[in-house]
């Protein structure tokens, strides 16, 4: 039986069978049946593919998520003149018009976004191009320094625990007397006002402009933001029990203090304020400040390196080194050697001492200037005030800090004080003892505010003086304190001038306008405090309270404390600077003046020239000679 065809035969051409010809072979009929199945399979596959592809097509809204700036590719332009859109040759109105309107809004929104992105990128590029090459280089260097600092933090060794865990006198100091305690609380409030103002208006800057209410810096810090007030004030905050403020300062130091800056700074100022301040904070709190070791090593490496290029002040006698600068490193550097075990610091300051011992001293006096190239003194100008002051102070304090075993330092101090008393100390016609300045064989009868520290120095060095001179030097200290008090008392504001004369009938009075200013200096109050500790004469507390009241009345402003330009004027103008040493020294000495003697007793502590207390070290004299530190 023949298999019926699956497809209709109409239209199919059937070949004519010729007589005698054989019929189609059997395999040919089979092949035609297979072609039908194949054709059917192809058709089925095509239909399946078409319907399947429809389900796999992406959502048309997804293209809106792509923003490559190719507007016309992603969003085909639509002719707004047409009322509808064509689908399969038919025009759809009504709902389609609404969709078109929404589509145009989306298109315009996307174009606006693209345009805004392009404009923003263009502005950013313009800003980058505006930066100078130096600014870009500075940014790159800052990033490099940050990376280097992070690496050093990982590799740096921490300091050992405070080597004297039973340090006495770092807490309390309650005076007992309610009146004195009230005065002490007032000094604490003044410190709080000064600190809070700096915290609000000058944080991170070296100092504060309290009237302008912004940060301030001077060239001694290289105009770099090193947070001088923070480091300088840290130990004062701790002593006064302002521990929250102390933690704020500690945190800033940990996160921001950086000596690796491209600036020329005063080695002297950085040493007494930063190194001294960090050391004191470490000893008082027992906590090593993060960045302490790093900052110390960077600074000391800088200060000890010998480049052969002078960086002294140009005005200092043809670029000479200044006595008070190279001679005021001893205390801090000895402590660095003590803490680190590295003798390099001690070696440097001992080298300075040995060099000075070999030099001739005119009339036994140390001139203020030393030429670093020739190794000879500059002009013969000697002063116990500015340019020379702390050199003599550190001779005495090197002896005290060594637990009175550094006899070499004591001898140098005694010889220097003998020459000073012989050539520089005089009495005025009114009976006031003053310390003048020696200039080229002539005594200038003028005394600076900075020189007033010497009253405290004489009292501090009285014990241990040769012969029977202990009482004499204590009395000399009292006379200097009296003279400096007179310089305050003879002004309208009851604040002392920068310098005052004893000549032509003048007694402890400033003459020149540029000598009539008061910049919150501490030296007079420093002497009051030392004299109080050694005599307990109540007049020193009274004098200190007079000074504190005058400062609070005439120097206090809403944004802190400012110096004044004329202490003889009842309506003074401000210099608009809150000095860092006001918090480090002036307020600290006032606070100690109204505290009991068991707060930082002088048998256990020695203050550097920035009033940062460092503990007495039990070093043998042979230690200083052999440079072997005894722990």
Binding site members for Ca(2+): 609
Q: Is the dihedral of CA 79, 81, 87, 89 positive or negative?
A: negative
CA–CA distance, 509 with 501 (Å, rounded to integer): 6
Residues 6+ apart with CB under 8 A from 577: 207, 208, 209, 210, 216, 519, 562, 563
**Among the options 207, 232, 258, 269, which is catalytic?**
269
**Angle, vertex CA 600, rays to CA 594 and CA 602, nearest 5:** 105
**Among the options 235, 332, 498, 507, which is catalytic?**
498
**Among the options 258, 523, 566, 585, which is catalytic?**
523
| Among the listed residues 436, 471, 434, the one whose alpha carbon sits nearest the alpha carbon of residue 455 | 434
Q: Is 139 a catalytic residue?
A: no
Give Dmax (Cα) for the chain: 168
Burial of residue 426 (CB within 10 Å: 0-12, 13-18, 19+) is middle
**Among the options 207, 232, 389, 507, which is catalytic?**
389
Q: Is the dihedral of CA 618, 620, 621, 626 positive or negative?
A: negative
CA–CA distance, 524 with 486 (Å, rounded to integer): 11
Annotated binding site: 609
| Among the listed residues 195, 292, 296, the one whose alpha carbon sits nearest the alpha carbon of residue 253 | 292
DSSP string, 277-294: HHHHHHHHH--PPTTHHH
Q: Is 444 a catalytic residue?
A: no
Q: Is 414 a catalytic residue?
A: no
Q: Is 185 a catalytic residue?
A: no
| Among the listed residues 515, 475, 267, the one whose alpha carbon sits nearest the alpha carbon of residue 385 | 515
CB-CB contact of 323 with 370 (8 Å): yes
DSSP string, 261-279: -SS---HHHIIIIIIHHHH
Residue 216, SS3? strand
DSSP string, 390-456: HHHHHHHHHHHHTTS--HHHHHHHHHHHHHHHHHTEEE-TTS-EEE-EEETTEEE-EEEGGGGGHHH
CA–CA distance, 327 with 310 (Å, rounded to integer): 17
> Burial letters for 71-89: b for 16+ Cβ neighbours within 10 Å, e otherwise?
eeeebeeeeeeeeebeeee
Residues 6+ apart with CB under 8 A from 312: 319, 320, 321, 322, 372
Which positions are annotated as active-site residues?
269, 389, 498, 523
């Amino acid at each position: 039986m023949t298999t019926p065809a699956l497809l209709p035969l109409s239209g199919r051409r059937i070949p004519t069978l010729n007589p005698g010809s054989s019929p189609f072979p059997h395999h040919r009929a089979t092949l035609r049946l297979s072609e039908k199945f194949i054709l059917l399979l192809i058709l089925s596959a095509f239909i399946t593919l078409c319907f399947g592809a429809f389900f796999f097509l992406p959502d048309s809204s997804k293209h809106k998520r792509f923003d490559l700036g190719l507007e016309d590719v992603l969003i085909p332009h639509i002719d707004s003149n047409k009322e509808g859109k064509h689908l399969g040759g038919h025009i759809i109105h009504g709902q389609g018009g609404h969709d078109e309107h929404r589509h145009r809004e989306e298109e315009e929104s996307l174009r606006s976004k693209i345009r805004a992105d392009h404009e923003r990128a263009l502005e950013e590029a313009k800003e980058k191009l505006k930066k100078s090459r130096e600014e870009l280089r500075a940014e790159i260097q800052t990033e490099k320094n940050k990376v280097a600092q992070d690496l050093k933090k990982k590799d740096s060794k921490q300091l050992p625990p405070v080597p004297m865990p039973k340090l006495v006198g770092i807490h309390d100091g309650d005076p007992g007397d309610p009146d004195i305690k009230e005065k002490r609380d007032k000094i604490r409030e003044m410190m709080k006002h000064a600190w809070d103002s700096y915290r609000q208006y000058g944080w991170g800057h070296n100092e504060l402009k309290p009237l302008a209410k912004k940060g301030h810096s001077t060239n001694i810090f290289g105009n770099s933001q090193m947070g001088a007030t923070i480091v300088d004030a840290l130990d004062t905050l701790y002593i006064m029990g302002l521990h929250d403020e102390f933690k704020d300062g500690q945190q800033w130091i940990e996160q921001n203090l950086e000596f690796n800056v491209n600036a020329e700074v005063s080695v002297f100022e950085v040493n007494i304020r930063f190194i001294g301040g960090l050391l004191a904070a470490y000893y008082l709190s027992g906590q090593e400040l993060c960045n302490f070791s790093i900052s110390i090593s960077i600074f000391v490496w800088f200060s000890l390196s010998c480049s052969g290029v002078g960086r002294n002040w140009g005005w200092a006698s043809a670029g000479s080194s200044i006595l008070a600068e190279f001679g005021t490193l001893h205390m801090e550097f000895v402590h660095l050697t003590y803490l680190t075990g590295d003798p390099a610091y001690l070696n440097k300051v001992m080298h300075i001492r040995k060099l000075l011992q070999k030099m001739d001293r005119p009339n036994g006096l140390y001139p203020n200037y030393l030429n670093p190239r020739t190794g000879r003194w500059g002009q013969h100008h000697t002063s116990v005030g500015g340019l020379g002051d702390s050199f003599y102070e550190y001779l005495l304090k090197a002896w005290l800090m060594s637990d009175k075993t550094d006899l070499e330092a004591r001898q140098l101090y005694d010889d220097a004080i003998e020459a000073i008393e012989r050539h520089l100390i005089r009495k005025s016609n009114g009976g006031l003892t003053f310390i003048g300045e020696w200039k080229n064989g002539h005594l200038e009868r003028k005394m600076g505010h900075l020189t007033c520290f010497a009253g405290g120095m004489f009292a501090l060095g009285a014990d241990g003086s040769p012969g029977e001179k202990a009482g004499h030097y204590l009395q000399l200290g009292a006379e200097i304190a009296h003279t400096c008090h007179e310089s305050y008392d003879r002004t309208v504001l009851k604040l002392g001038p920068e310098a005052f004369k004893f000549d032509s009938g003048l007694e402890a009075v400033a003459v020149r306008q540029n000598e009539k200013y008061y910049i919150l200096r501490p030296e007079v109050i420093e002497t009051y405090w030392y004299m109080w500790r050694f005599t307990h004469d109540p007049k020193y507390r009274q004098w200190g309270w007079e000074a504190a009241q005058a400062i609070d009345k005439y120097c206090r402003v809403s944004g802190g404390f400012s110096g004044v330009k004329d202490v003889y004027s009842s309506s003074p103008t401000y210099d608009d600077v809150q000095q860092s040493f006001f918090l480090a020294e002036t307020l600290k000495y006032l606070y100690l003046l109204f505290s009991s003697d068991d707060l930082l007793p002088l048998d256990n502590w020695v203050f550097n020239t920035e009033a940062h207390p460092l503990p007495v070290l039990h070093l043998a004299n042979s230690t200083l000679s052999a440079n072997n530190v005894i722990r």
